[in-house]
Amino acid sequence: MIVENYWKYFLVPLIVYCVTYVIYLWRNDKKKKIFGNSGRTERVEFDDSDLGEQDDLSPALPEDLAHIPLKPEILPTDVMIRHSREFYEKMNKRRSIRNFSSRSFPKEIIYNIIRTAGTAPSGAHTEPWTFIVVESMDMKEKIREIIEEEEEMNYKKRMGKTWTTDLKPLKTNWVKEYLTVAPYIILVFKQTHSFKSDGTKKIHYYNEQSLSIAVGFLLAAIHSAGLYSLTSTPLNCGPAIRSLLNRPSTEKLVFLLPVGYPAENCLVPDLHRKPLNEIIVEY
Amino acid sequence: MIVENYWKYFLVPLIVYCVTYVIYLWRNDKKKKIFGNSGRTERVEFDDSDLGEQDDLSPALPEDLAHIPLKPEILPTDVMIRHSREFYEKMNKRRSIRNFSSRSFPKEIIYNIIRTAGTAPSGAHTEPWTFIVVESMDMKEKIREIIEEEEEMNYKKRMGKTWTTDLKPLKTNWVKEYLTVAPYIILVFKQTHSFKSDGTKKIHYYNEQSLSIAVGFLLAAIHSAGLYSLTSTPLNCGPAIRSLLNRPSTEKLVFLLPVGYPAENCLVPDLHRKPLNEIIVEY
């Protein structure tokens, strides 16, 4: 009788617990097979898009994609050295600003800047990006309202003391005047996947890394045009802004960049960049 | 007696289970407070670095960081339009290649390229990047061995049919000859965190996005110098390569880029980029 009770009241929940735990371990192991050692300290970061199998097996690019000769333009070595130095010197003058002038500029420049971003490489050439350019004051005000509301909560509740303390020297807070002052705002959405012409899912490999590289191109283009920006990553605002801008659920907001001229008397923090020997290791 | 047994054999494990579950829910809720709706379809992607609280509250940058006047160089509008068009035209000529020449070039160009990457913006100016330049054939061979071994498993077992089918038109496989042919390989590690001078932890906000933007700058610099590259993200090779290169556990391999001249008769897939109207939306 005692043995019988023991079985019913103790072993049953224990067995249920063990089975659940084994299932959990097994599922985790399946993930590891794809993503490698998924321990936080070891794993290679990888976008967690759905990598599930599909029934159709037509590639996303044309199956008979031609491979054509590259026509490289080979420069003399001294010109290469000079170009690399000049490009560094130009890019080293770039500064992020938070204090914009309302002065506008021709939209053609915005078009060229976004065209440049669109030349970035992407996983299996999926080009997983949408650039939303906002010029309308009405829309800028709506975006500002969403962001300031979320940012106030971020600063006051979510980010914690370490984060807000780290931001203090940069003098930032949840008031984002530039959102309604800068002539243009570019919101950069990543596309986690899309659809092929036959309606099947097209997976966008490494979409977040590809998108961020494209934003690197975008920033270089903004700077090349003689304009200024601020690279921001609106925390927790994605769903509300996505819905405001009527973007599909396959897109997620990652970056927001105001673009324009600096305000008169614009100040920037007196930051310095690490010298080469602190960021390079040679073998 | 039955009630006593019931308590011992059934309720105790049940209570333990419930308490564990409540702790799990509570911890999850804490995460949500920081990262918002963490449902896969809605959350704003965010690097999962440890954002835990620390006892010290000194900011990572100097507390009294000066804010100094920006000295912008304002260009005439027609020059801005021209620069933006020229930069686009230059960047639009960039192509990734997989077939490199072994011809080398002065290392000064590599230095300028990495200096340029180091001018990228980063979350709270944490500059979370290390660029490993490999020129030694011995080290290149060791890296190639690790990568080809993992890639063979990726292609044959881990990536699945959808992924390998999508890669077919690009004619890639697990053999990476360029790893021992290109004169230089740059391995880009993100730093998830570092340490302040007083030994406390310095959190690197948005380190993966910052790093990828820096790789955008790196690619623009490689192209500006008249050189070629391939943006690769070695899957599952991170821990082995990190250990080979003796990098600390705070660093994770994200990108690997061979840099050099194209081989004679180098072919590239006949890819086209999306036109502006497919990547822009205006408000």
Collapse the DSSP code of B178 into the 3-class scheme (helix H, G, I; strand E, B; otherwise coil) and give the result.
helix
Rg (CA), chain A: 25
What's the rounded mean pLDDT across residues B252-263?
A: 97
Mean pLDDT along residues B55-79? 87
Residues above pLDDT 70, as percent of chain A? 84
Q: Is B199 an interface residue toward A (CB < 8 Å)?
A: no
Torsions phi, psi of B75, nearest 5?
A: -90, 155
In the prediction, which pLDDT does B37 show? 39
| 3-state DSSP helix/strand/coil % of chain B, to nearest 5 | 45, 15, 40
pLDDT band per the 50, 70, 90 thresholds, residue B30: low
**Pairwise pLDDT comparison (B80 vs B9), residue with the higher score:** B80
Query: In this predicted model, which residue has the larger pLDDT, A120 or B20?
Result: A120
Helix (H) or strand (E) holding A158: none
**Hey, how many other C-beta atoms are within 10 angstroms of the C-beta on B5?**
16
- pLDDT on residue A30: 53
Residue A76, SS3 per DSSP: coil
Residues 224-263 of B with CB under 8 A from A: 224-228, 231, 233-239, 245, 247, 249, 252-255, 261-262
What mean pLDDT is reported for chain B?
Answer: 86
| Cα–Cα distance measured from residue B126 to residue B59, given in angstroms and rounded to the nearest whole number | 12
Neighbours of A11 (CB within 10 A): 13
Burial of B281 (0-12, 13-18, 19+ CB in 10 A): middle
* Of A10-14, A124-128, A274-278, B238-242, the least confident: A10-14
List beta partners, residue B194: B202
The residues that bridge with A106 in the sheet, in sequence order, are: none
- Which of A103, A112, A241 is best to mutate for the B interface (most B CBs within 10 A)? A112
pLDDT at A8 over 90: no
pLDDT at B47 over 90: no
What is the reported pLDDT for A200? 87
H helices of chain A, in order, are 2-6, 12-35, 77-91, 107-117, 137-153, 160-167, 178-181, 207-224, 238-244, 276-279
Percentage of chain A modeled with pLDDT above 90: 64
Q: Which two tokens stand for residue B101?
A: 């020449």
- Exposure on the CB side of residue B186, measured as CA atoms within 13 A: 28
3-state class (DSSP) for residue B202: strand
Which is more confidently placed, B245 or A15?
B245
pLDDT of residue B22: 74
Residues of A in contact with B76 (CB under 8 A): none
Coil, helix or strand for A283?
Answer: coil
- In this prediction, residue B38 has a pLDDT band, given cuts at 50, 70 and 90, of very low
What is residue A62's predicted lDDT score, i.e. its pLDDT? 85
Report the distance separating Cα B138 and Cα B154, nearest Å: 24
- Do the beta carbons of residue A166 and residue B206 sit within 8 Å? no
Q: Is A142 on the interface with B (CB under 8 A)?
A: no
Q: Is the pLDDT of residue B265 over 80?
A: yes
What pLDDT score was predicted for residue A51?
44
Compare CB distances from A271 to B125, B205, B279 and report the shortest one's residue: B125
Cα–Cα distance for residue pair B220/A67, rounded to 1 Å: 24
pLDDT value at residue B7: 65
Q: What distance in Å separates the CA atoms of residue A102 and residue B253, rounded to the nearest whole number?
A: 41
B195 or A41: whose pLDDT is higher? B195
* Closest CB to B233 among A66, A206, A245: A206
pLDDT tens column, B100-135? 999 999 999 999 999 999 999 999 899 999 999 999
Whether the CB-CB separation of B135 and A283 falls below 8 Å is answered with: yes
Q: What average pLDDT does the segment B144-173 reach?
A: 86
Q: Is the pLDDT of residue B40 over 60?
A: no
**B118·A279 Cβ contact <8 A:** yes
Q: Using a CB cutoff of 8 Å and minimum separation of 24, what contacts does A71-74 make?
A: A72/B228, A72/B261, A72/B262, A72/B266, A73/B93, A73/B226, A74/B226, A74/B261
Q: What mean pLDDT comes out for the span B256-261?
A: 98
**55-114 of B, contacting A, C-beta below 8 A:** 57-70, 72-75, 77, 79-81, 83-85, 87-88, 91-97, 105-106, 108-109, 111-114
Nearest CA in chain A to B218: A216
In angstroms, what separates the C-alpha of A199 from chain B's closest C-alpha? 15
pLDDT-derived band at B39 (thresholds 50, 70, 90) equals: very low
Cβ of A114 and B81 within 8 Å?
no
Reported as a single tens digit per residue, the pLDDT across B198-218 is 888 888 989 999 999 999 999
**Predicted confidence (pLDDT) at residue A153 exceeds the cutoff of 90:** no
Q: Is it the case that residue B13 has pLDDT exceeding 60? A: yes
Mean per-residue pLDDT, A62-76: 92
Instruction: Indicate yes or no: CB of B217 within 8 angstroms of CB of A108.
Output: no
* Tokens found for residue A183: 């002539």
Banded pLDDT at A161 (limits 50, 70, 90): confident
Looking at the predicted structure, is the pLDDT value of residue A102 above 60?
yes
The answer, yes or no, to whether residue A3 has pLDDT greater than 70, is no
Q: Best residue in A31, A46, A49, A91 to probe B by mutation, most B CBs within 10 Å?
A: A91
Q: Residue B175: CB partners within 8 Å, gap ≥ 6?
A: B148
- List, for residues A16-41, the tens digit of each pLDDT value: 777 777 777 666 555 544 444 333 33
Average pLDDT over residues A93-107: 97
**Residues of A (201-220) whose Cβ lies below 8 Å from B:** 203, 205-206, 208-209, 211-217, 219-220
> From CA B149, how far away is CA B147, in angstroms rounded?
5
Nearest CA in chain A to B238: A44
Position A43 pLDDT exceeds 50:
no
Which of residues B63 and A148 earns the better pLDDT score? A148
pLDDT at B86: 98
Nearest neighbour of B212 by CB, restricted to A112, A125, A212: A212
Determine the Cα–Cα distance for residues A232 and A245; give it in Å rounded to an integer.
Answer: 18
The alpha-carbon gap from B46 to the nearest alpha carbon of chain A, in Å, equals 8
pLDDT given at position A54 = 52
Chain B residue nearest residue A50, CA to CA: B40
Chain B residue numbers with beta carbons less than 8 Å from the beta carbon of A118 are 273-274, 276, 279
Model confidence band, residue B4 (pLDDT cutoffs 50, 70, 90): low
Q: What is the pLDDT of residues A189-236, one digit of tens each?
A: 999 999 988 888 888 999 999 999 999 999 999 999 999 999 999 988
Q: Determine the straight-line distance between the first and last CA of chain B, rounded to whole angstroms.
A: 74
Residue B260: the pLDDT is 98
| A145 min Cα distance to partner chain B (Å) | 16
- Give me the percent of chain B exceeding a pLDDT of 90: 64
> Is residue B124 classed as helix, strand or coil in its secondary structure?
helix
pLDDT, residue B54, reads: 52
B78 CB contacts (<8 Å, ≥6 apart)? none
Residue B46 binned pLDDT confidence (cut-offs 50, 70, 90): very low
Q: Residue A94 has which token pair? A: 């770039």
Locate the chain B residue with the closest alpha carbon to A140.
B283
- B216 to chain A: which residues are within 8 Å by CB? 120, 212-217, 219-220
